Structure 1
Amino acid sequence: MNMKIAVTGASGHIGNVVCRQLIEEGFKVNALYNKDQRSLENLNINLFQGSVLHKSDLERLIDGVDVVIHCAAIISIDGDPQGIVFKTNTEGPKNILDVSIQKGVKKIIHISSVHAVTEIPHSIPYDECRPYKQLGASAYDYSKAQGEQILLNGSKNNAIEVMIVRPSCVIGPYDFKPSKMGSALLDFYNEKVPFIPEGGYNLVDIRDVASSIVNAIEHGKDGEIYLLSGKYVNFKKLSETIQKVTGKKTPPLTLPYWLMKGILPVVALHAKITKRAPSFTKESIETIRNGHPNMNHTKARAILNHNPRPLEETLHNFFDWQIENEVISSSCSLKP
């Protein structure tokens, strides 16, 4: 494979697994990371330290590449008081587009999010045609909606192709940091979760998402959007599946939405006193409350061969990887 691919946000969960998939399929890879490169150690790639907010960094990264996979983003479930979420998630795509056009890149694959568009109403299946979220939505959601539109609109009168993929909540191995959902799974494993929140989420294996992203290099169509979802699971069922996989106890109590919303001021005060991130926020409980139970990835299955594996397999692999990398102890054997 002679094509060279640039990956931004390469040290993140999606980014590092995309890099691994690219290497496996024989692509040459330029990888942009910001600070922590642990997830990229010992990979046969060209490393570039920098930021998507600096065009000079992108010019070095993108020089001589055929395709850019833009994974870099800031995720927030607690607003955007410094403005860095919106800045990164909108100026980043604009800079990627400008430099890619300048360097003669053929294609940009932009990693967006299912949260860029509206989840309501639940009575209609969730697919690629949902309307974008508007100003007034959470900072992260609105920034991802704007980022998509910047790329799709900005590429219309240029030779470059742009396509969008929207993963749901990714979980699985190679979660070095770990991610927000990875942290939640580890809290379940370590029995630090006193209750189960009401609601649910669509979960998808990171490796299936990465495979579909790489397939978009050849099969993705200009101007198209692809939903990379997995399976919806409510948190009670998720907790029971974790217990089945690990033997860890399921929290006995389910906390309803109205009660979680009512104690938000107490949670925020505790976070301020302890100087730790709040265990949940208004945005996070709204997200799991509004999680759409019927996300339809038929289009991605047909075009990108998106074929999500069973949740139980993903959880096995996630906890196995965490044990192998000594993030958690193996005091409790995983169930076969």
Structure 2
Amino acid sequence: MVVVTGATGHIGNVLVRKLVEDHISVRALFAPGDDLKALSNLPVELIPMDILDFDGLVRAFDGAEAVFHLAGIITIMPFFQKRVYRVNVEGTKNVITACRKAGVKRLVYVSSVHALSEPEKGATIDENFEFNAKKVYGCYGKSKAIAVMEVEKAASRGLDTVILCPSGVIGPYDYRGSEMGKLFEDFLKGKFRIAVDGCFDFVDVRDVADGIVKAWKKGESGEKYILSGHTITMRKLVAMLNNCSALKRKKVFFLPEVLMYPIAAAMTLFYWLSGSKPRFTFYSLHTLHRYYNFTHEKASRELGYNPRPIKESVEDTLEWFEKKMNFSKGSFSQEKGLI
């Protein structure tokens, strides 16, 4: 039996599906109040769990061969947020200690490429880059860097761990609506009209789940692996969305650089006033304008990790969101009980 924290998340629910497909018994932990659509009809043990509840984690980990720790808060806001730090850092400390107390054989921690130290623009980033919160931009990246350092500390003290760093995740089964999932959904609704130049590495969520399972079985204790996919510019991604979609879309306008940051500032302020998600912020602009290349050569060599073509991921993501939205004949009516 294995435990997955954050099981209702995008990577989490796809990992659970992969484990079930491999006939692995799964105990799926999710935050109290989470929507369970992502896990419906899956033969797993469902346990509501606050990641800050240490005693609850010990009970949930009892008898587990491995714990896959994915629970966390993702944010594109650039400044410190107490809740993000508590869940991503204090929650990870709880998981580490609970693994020790429950006698878990291996902890597989899913972090992010955003936790890796940032070099100069355009650099190729591999596993030789350290985790250092002082060399990372943004609240999310800093919190994940600190959390990874706790996992590394635990590994140095004898806990069997493997650390994984996915890049920008896209793909089907995005029930909770990730940042990129919202872009795909807005595109299908005809609401994606404004974009910014830049590029990033995007990877299929199904390949990430496969890489996580491979790391559990084959990864060397104490090691870290980047699970990246393919680097693509935003202009090429928009063109791919148009090419993969059956219906003709309205043109997407790319903002000139002189307007990007003032608009990001306005969107950030609007977020705080309204509670709605901003399309982009200083953090997302920073990420798109670093032009990094995240190499998965180590994961491919040691784990047999092989991400699929990005066009396939884009096609499958669009198809999944179309079904979710009951998309047909240009209409976007929501069918009750569809998901």
Q: Same fold (TM over 0.5)?
A: yes
Deviation string 1:285-321 (CA, Å, 9 cap, x unpaired) is 11111241x2210110112221111111111111211
SS of aligned partner of 1:315: helix
Partner residue of 1:58? 57
User: Deviation of residue 277 (structure 1)?
Assistant: 2.2
Report the counterpart of residue 220 of structure 1 in structure 2. Answer: 219
Native 8 Å contact 1:80 1:86 kept in 2: no
Q: Does 1:14 align with 2:43?
A: no
Matching of residues 72-87 of structure 1 within 5 Å? 72-79=71-78, 82-87=81-86
Q: Which amino acid aligns with 1:78?
A: M
Whether 1:24 and 2:21 are equivalent positions in the alignment is yes
1:285 maps to what in 2? 285
Q: How does 1:273-312 map to 2 (within 5 A)?
A: 274-292=274-292, 294-312=293-311
After superposition, residues 1-336 of structure 1 pair within 5 angstroms as 4-34=1-31, 35-79=34-78, 82-135=81-134, 137-158=137-158, 160-246=159-245, 247-249=247-249, 251-271=251-271, 274-292=274-292, 294-325=293-324, 327=325, 329-331=327-329
TM-score by length of 2: 0.91
Which secondary structure does the structure 1 equivalent of 2:26 belong to? strand
What letter matches 2:257 in structure 1?
A: Y
- For the 8 Å contact 1:10–1:71, the answer to whether it is kept is yes
Taking only aligned residues, the RMSD between alpha carbons, in angstroms, comes to 1.9
Gaps of 5+ in 2: 332-339
**Which amino acid in structure 1 is aligned with residue 26 of structure 2?**
V
Alignment identity in percent?
Answer: 35
Instruction: Provide Cα deviations, 1:162-186, integer angstroms capped at 9, x if missing partner.
Output: 1100000111111101111100121
Query: Alignment partner of 1:263: what SS?
Result: helix
C-alpha separation in 2, matches of 1:81 and 1:228: 26
Contact 2:192/2:252 (8 A) holds in 1: no
Separation in structure 2 between the aligned mates of residue 245 and residue 89 of structure 1, nearest angstrom: 36
- Contact 1:120 1:290 (C-alpha < 8 Å) held by counterparts: no
- The alpha carbon displacement at 1:266 in A equals 3.0
Q: Is this contact kept in 1: 2:184–2:317, CA < 8 A?
A: no
CA separation of 1:270/1:124 partners in 2, compared to 1, >3 Å: closer, same or farther? Answer: closer
The more displaced of 256-265 and 193-202 is 256-265
In structure 2, relative to structure 1, the CA distance for the partners of 1:122 and 1:281 (3 Å cut) is closer
Contact 2:168 2:200 in 1 (8 A): yes
Change (3 A) 1:125 1:262: same
- Residue 290 of structure 1 aligns to a residue whose secondary structure is coil
User: Structure 2: how far apart are the matches of 1:272 and 1:194?
Assistant: 23
Kindly provide the amino acid, as one letter, of the partner of residue 254 in structure 2: T
Contact 1:196 1:251 in 2 (8 A): no
Q: CA deviation at 1:123?
A: 4.8
Cα 1:82–1:141 change in 2 (3 A) is closer
TM-aligned CA deviation for residue 268 of structure 1:
3.5
**Mean Cα displacement is larger for which, 182-191 or 38-47?**
182-191
User: What is the identity, as a one-letter code, of the residue corresponding to 2:197?
Assistant: E
| C-alpha contact (below 8 Å) 2:122/2:290 kept by paired residues | no
Counterpart CA distance in 2 for 1:32 and 1:280 is: 31
Instruction: Quote how far apart the aligned CAs of 1:252 are.
Output: 4.3
Gap regions ≥5 residues in structure 1: none
Cα deviation for residue 73 of structure 1 reads 0.8
Partners in 2 of 1:275 and 1:59 — Cα distance?
35
Bigger drift between 204-213 and 180-189 goes to 180-189
Deviates more, 1:220-229 or 1:78-87: 78-87
Q: Partner amino acid for 1:251?
A: K
Q: 1:5 to 1:291 in 2, by over 3 A?
A: farther
What's the TM-score once normalised by structure 1's chain length? 0.92
